[in-house]
Amino acid sequence: MKPSIAKHWEQNVIRVTENLRKIRDLLAKAAVEAGRDPDTVQLLAVSKKQPVSSVVEAASAGQRDFGENQLQEGLEKIAAVADDELVWHFIGHLQTNKTRPVAEHFHWVHSVDRLKTAARLSRQRPDELGDLNICLQVNVDLEESKSGVCVDAVAELAGQVAELPRLKLRGLMCLPAVRHGFAAQREPFARLSRLADQLRANGIPTDTLSMGMSDDYRAAIFEGATIVRVGTAIFGPRIES
């Protein structure tokens, strides 16, 4: 490892505890401003491209939920950290042929966008681990290139996933294109929130809206986010390979 990278990591670890405290404060403040109970907003620490030491530091500062978006990196980190108290969320694109290790090692998947993936996770989830928590990733921007189920197909997919054994449909997730300004940031989150309302009206109640990251968590909280996925604001810049 280059000395500059080692130094960077070392400084990161020291910063994590302090950053976590700040972020938890900011999330609570945003919730109160939005007229919500701060306890209804959960912090998911996105540890992708961060060292194991940063996860350990965050865990010792009381952080329980961690998110990874690359399967191999996530599996290695789960094994290296080896802490049964932690809750691991898979938040990246999931290829249908790589579902088994996700079903066996993660507690949540936020990025289900087709029935085939959900059906495989359902079959491959070991009984003794209990239900795998599922969010459907919704393509709120209608961008051709983005993953996520399109808005028109959410209700049908939700109905199908809700029926699958060993899965628990928890809610919806989105990863909108970058927008600047509070009002513009709120717009796609409002759309996701309305979709969840429509599911409820159709008899498919959910309890999770996974939306908002380091730069737009406040807008997401104003629109009802129950899980915000924060990476760089906790851990600092990612180590790009």
- Site residues for ligand PLP, 84-123, by CB under 6 A, read 91
Q: Give the interface size with ligand PLP as a residue count (CB under 6 A).
A: 13
Interacting stretch for ligand PLP, rule CB under 6 A, among 4-12, 152-160, 183-191, 225-233?
225-233
Residue nearer to ligand PLP on the CB measure, 72 or 198: 72
Cα→Cα distances 184→22, 61, 90, 118, 142, Å? 25, 34, 27, 32, 16
Residue nearer to ligand PLP on the CB measure, 89 or 198: 89
How far apart CA 41 and CA 144 sit, in angstroms, is: 31
Q: Is 236 in the site for ligand PLP (CB under 6 A)?
A: no
Residue nearer to ligand PLP on the CB measure, 118 or 233: 233
Q: Is 229 in the site for ligand PLP (CB under 6 A)?
A: yes
Tokens 């939005």 -> residue: 34
Among 51, 171, 231, 236, binds ligand PLP (CB under 6 A): 231
Q: Is 132 in the site for ligand PLP (CB under 6 A)?
A: no
Site string for ligand PLP, 155-184 (x = CB under 6 A): --------------------x---------
- Site residues for ligand PLP, 29-48, by CB under 6 A, read 46, 48
Q: How many residues does the chain have?
A: 241
CB 192 within 8 A of CB 138: yes
Smallest separation (angstroms) from ligand PLP to the CB of 97: 21
